[in-house]
Amino acid sequence: MKTLSWQDAAVRHEFSRLKAMKPFCYGLTNYVTAGLSANVLLAVGAGPAIGSAMDWPSVFGRHAHAVWINAACLMSCGPDEIRAAARAAHEGNVPWVLDPVAVGAGAPDYDAVIRSLLEFKPTAIRGNASELIALAGGNGGGQGVETTLTSDKALPFLEKVAAETGTIAAVSGPIDYITDGTTTISVSGGDARMTQMTGAGCSLGGFIAGMLANAEDRLTAVAAAHAIYSEAAERASGAIGTGSFAVQFLDHLSLLNPAE
């Protein structure tokens, strides 16, 4: 298995491609973490627009440089809107990221909408261990939006999802794993307080979309997003509590320079 970190030139190269493009990234996401997701994309130099307002999903889904769909957006839009955004991205050949928040946590109607999105061939799928295992048909044991398992438990399921759906699959945890079903990359490091900052995972979904907008190599770009998050989290590790950790994480994300 390969490992990647901020030290690798490939990571900084993909990051520089995002910064060169300043991609317009359109997202459907939940309102709990939408603000952080927008701030993450602005911090790295992308231009986010979020939400399902009237005909935004079909228009922005097709005209953005990249799209991300966080399934918990269903708390403020309906199945038709989430599907319209996924369809628009798919038909427009726009790379798009699916974050199947809380899939397998016990809500069958909600889960069915998520599964229906696979028809539109996400470019990448990211989640926590419980979610990726559930998506692959296993018993993920998710509790609400939280995982009850570590990322290594999800690895075989991750490879199954990637192979069966032809997508890049990524799981976050103490170690992150990213795979296209053939090659698997691990990313380590970070800071445990990432799990105490609401939206760390949700905003990573948006950032992955940004990295895919202008990627030279898509698997590397998705892994690079994880490595950049990990680096920013480590640079923020001097924070005294969870509030300032979130602030410093954004600070360091905005300061990370691919040319350094």
- Distance, CA of 35 to CA of 184 (rounded, Å): 31
Question: Tokens for 100?
Answer: 């199947």
- Distance, CA of 169 to CA of 184 (rounded, Å): 9
Helix axes 242-255, 34-44, angle to 10 degrees: 30
Q: Are 180 and 168 in contact (CB under 8 A)?
A: yes
Count CB-CB contacts under 10 A for residue 74. Answer: 19
Q: Which stretch binds a second copy (CB under 8 A): 11-19, 70-78, 150-158, 205-213?
A: 70-78
Among 68, 177, 207, 249, which residue sits at the site for a second copy (rule: CB under 8 A)?
Answer: 249
67 binding a second copy? (CB under 8 A): no
Q: Between residue 45 and residue 64, which ones bind a second copy under the rule CB under 8 A?
A: 47-56, 59-60, 63-64
Which of 105, 185 has the CB closer to a second copy? Answer: 105
* In the block, residue with structure tokens 């910064």: 19
In angstroms, the Cα distances linking 128 to 7, 15, 97, 158 are: 25, 23, 14, 10
Which of 115, 166 has the CB closer to a second copy? Answer: 115
CB 199 → a second copy: shortest distance, Å? 7
- Distance, CA of 245 to CA of 233 (rounded, Å): 8
CB 234 → a second copy: shortest distance, Å? 15
Q: Between residue 187 and residue 246, which ones bind a second copy under the rule CB under 8 A?
A: 195-199, 239-244, 246
Q: Are 124 and 218 in contact (CB under 8 A)?
A: yes
CB 156 → a second copy: shortest distance, Å? 25
Residue 104's identity, in one-letter code, is G
Among 107, 121, 165, 183, which residue sits at the site for a second copy (rule: CB under 8 A)?
Answer: 107
Q: Which residues are annotated as a binding site?
A: 126, 172, 199
State the binding site for substrate.
199
Q: State the residues that interact with a second copy by CB under 8 A.
A: 24, 26, 30-36, 38-39, 42-43, 47-56, 59-60, 63-64, 71-77, 79, 102, 105-110, 113, 143-146, 195-199, 239-244, 246-255
